[in-house]
Amino acid sequence: MRSQIVSDYEQLSVIPTSGILGAEVTGRDRPLDLADLDETTFAELHRAWLDHRVLFFRDQDLTIEQLEAFTERWGEFGDNPFVEPMAGHPAVVEVLKEAHETDMTNFGGGWHCDWSFMETPPSATILYAREIPAWGGDTLFADLERAWETLSPSMQDLLHGIQAVHSARRSYAPTGSLGDGDDPRRTMKVTASETAYDTTLHPLVRTHVETGRKSLWVNGIYTIGLDGFTPAESTALLGFLIDHTEQQGFTCRFRWAPGSLAMWDNRCVQHNALNDYDGHRRLLWRTTVRGERPS
């Protein structure tokens, strides 16, 4: 069971974004500068992150190096398969859709946990907004802990011990939704590959290593089946579970502005970048923190 959300922060003001997850964080007595955090403030930030699972910050003025340094306070950089990082900054990916990229799948579109097909998917993703359309381009987040907690005890009993099959194929195989690397209109450098067909097994019910809380750890982009089930059984049960995780009541929504930064916990949160701003440029810098093998 989740802990009571505490609001006894000394350095921070932490305002929940929805009744489920997410919080906007500012300094209590002075502006919060993510490039200049003392140990006490960082420890409070860590606690707020575990309590709310997605944190949002406004009006940050970070260089790439400061974004890298902020990321490294949380752990080692994660890897970035299939996407080319920024020149000279191997841990930073530019999430970019140009105004001319109309009627195309956007990077990050559709509900997913980042790189859940990896053996050790990232624990955290950090996204820092540089250029944001005048309207549209919000990101949705959904709480996989609440998804787990709201299943019946009978369904929870059934799901314990099941391994889910994760794969990058729907996005990064040559026929995948982002596998159009040859399309000259796409500005993000995506390298589609046969390796996207590889599969990885992860527990359907994941226990968070820091909080001990359980999540229903599936997502509609990368979870392609349930191990040990027939295709028909897997389609029916997984389809139900994915629909369950995507309920509006488990979500919060973030409206970006240049200088906004979001940091989410991939171990218990999925997200979905809305693609409703064709004809406008959207640019964010993205880093990840290396995670552990889900268990």
What residues are annotated to the active site? 112, 114, 271, 286
Query: Does the protein bind ligand SIN through residue 125 (CB under 6 A)?
Result: yes
Nearer to ligand SIN, 113 or 164 (CB): 113
Angle, CA 125 vertex, CA 121 and CA 130 arms, to 5°: 145
Nearer to ligand SIN, 208 or 271 (CB): 271
Query: Does the protein bind ligand SIN through residue 273 (CB under 6 A)?
Result: yes
Nearer to ligand SIN, 169 or 282 (CB): 282
Alpha-carbon span 284 to 92, nearest angstrom: 10
Alpha-carbon span 290 to 76, nearest angstrom: 6
Nearer to ligand SIN, 202 or 271 (CB): 271
Could you give the residue ranges of the DSSP H alpha helices within 13-53?
Answer: 39-52
Alpha-carbon span 183 to 271, nearest angstrom: 26
Alpha-carbon span 199 to 224, nearest angstrom: 9
For residue 273, the minimal CB distance to ligand SIN (Å) is 3
Query: Does the protein bind ligand SIN through residue 17 (CB under 6 A)?
Result: no
Nearest to 121 by CA among 183, 4, 202: 202
Nearest to 112 by CA among 270, 274, 289: 270
Binding mask 84-123 for ligand SIN (x = CB under 6 A): -----------x------------x-----x---------
Alpha-carbon span 208 to 289, nearest angstrom: 15
Which residue of 204, 286, 289, 294 would you call a contact of ligand SIN, by CB under 6 A?
286
Query: Does the protein bind ligand SIN through residue 78 (CB under 6 A)?
Result: no
Binding site for ligand SIN (CB under 6 A): 95, 108, 114, 125, 127, 139, 271, 273, 284, 286
